[in-house]
Amino acid sequence: MNWDDTGYLISKNKYNENSVIAEVYTFNHGKCSGMVYGGTSRKIRNYLQLGNLIFVSFKSKSENKLGYFNIEIVDSIGPLFFDNKEKMLIMISAINILKIITPELQKNQNIYNLFSKLLNNLKIEKRNSIVDYIYWEIDIIKEIGFDLNLNQSTLKIKNDNHFSEINLDNEIYKIPNFILTRNHNNIENKLIIDALKFISSYLEKKILKPNNIFFPKSRFNLEKFYQ
């Protein structure tokens, strides 16, 4: 099985002295793992930064065996955020969410495009990146089959100018109103935390626990950043 594609690096692990196993979310093939020979060399190691966009040539004898990547750098994205803790936390959290909730070798160009849009928005200065991330999580959950239908909930009671109560699967959740309006402006950290906690609660209850998946530590670290 041979193919070429473009994708974002979402994990890397040293395999031996000279090679690493890389995991890439690609446009036409979804999430895929492969060995990169020479991945520990200075040149290739610099390409293999999480979040980087790379061109990959994949070769494998069968779908059941680990294949091999030849890679070329397309866009060095990850290093752009090395000096920005908030944006780095957002990127790493998004990478780990993408890694744990998407199946292997299942094409989903909407998910690819949503992730690409998130990373491109992170490049924009003075943009409310955490709000982009919150909407990204909601959209990703929808793409894997768990549409929250926040604007069509069977119950919506506005408690004040900041919160509403909605009914999701016969359970009442209190959520910040900016999630419903998709507003980016003048959002307090408390509302950010409440939004992150709402999504994490839903994600863990409906998707992660039923599939025996542990919640990524990077997502907790992101939530903690705004406390």
* b/e burial code for range 174-200 (CB count within 10 A of at least 16 → b): ebbbbbeeeeeeebeeebbbbbbebbb
What's the alpha-carbon Rg for the chain, to the nearest Å? 19
- 3-class secondary-structure state, position 19: strand
CATH of domain 80-225: 1.20.1440
pLDDT in tens, the chain (227 residues): 899 999 999 999 988 889 999 999 999 999 999 999 988 888 888 889 999 999 999 998 876 678 999 999 999 999 999 999 999 999 999 999 999 999 999 999 999 999 999 999 999 988 999 999 999 999 999 999 988 877 655 455 566 678 888 888 788 888 898 988 888 888 999 999 999 999 999 999 989 999 999 999 999 999 999 98
Q: Is the dihedral of CA 37, 43, 48, 54 positive or negative?
A: negative
Question: Rounded to the nearest 5 degrees, what angle is found at the Cα of 139, between the Cα atoms of 157 and 207?
Answer: 85
* pLDDT on residue 60: 86
Cα–Cα–Cα angle for 74, 122, 193, rounded to 5 degrees: 140
Residue spans per domain, the chain: 2-76, 80-225
pTM: 0.92
Question: Distance between CA atoms of 156 and 161, rounded to whole angstroms?
Answer: 13
Domains 2-76 and 80-225 share a fold: no
Task: Please give the pLDDT value at position 43.
Answer: 83
DSSP sequence for 53-86: EEEEEEE-SSTTS-EEEEEEEEE--GGGGTT-HH
Q: What was the pLDDT predicted at 152? A: 58
Distance between start and end Cα atoms, the chain: 48
Distance CA 179, CA 159 (A): 15
Q: Which CATH class is domain 2-76?
A: mainly beta
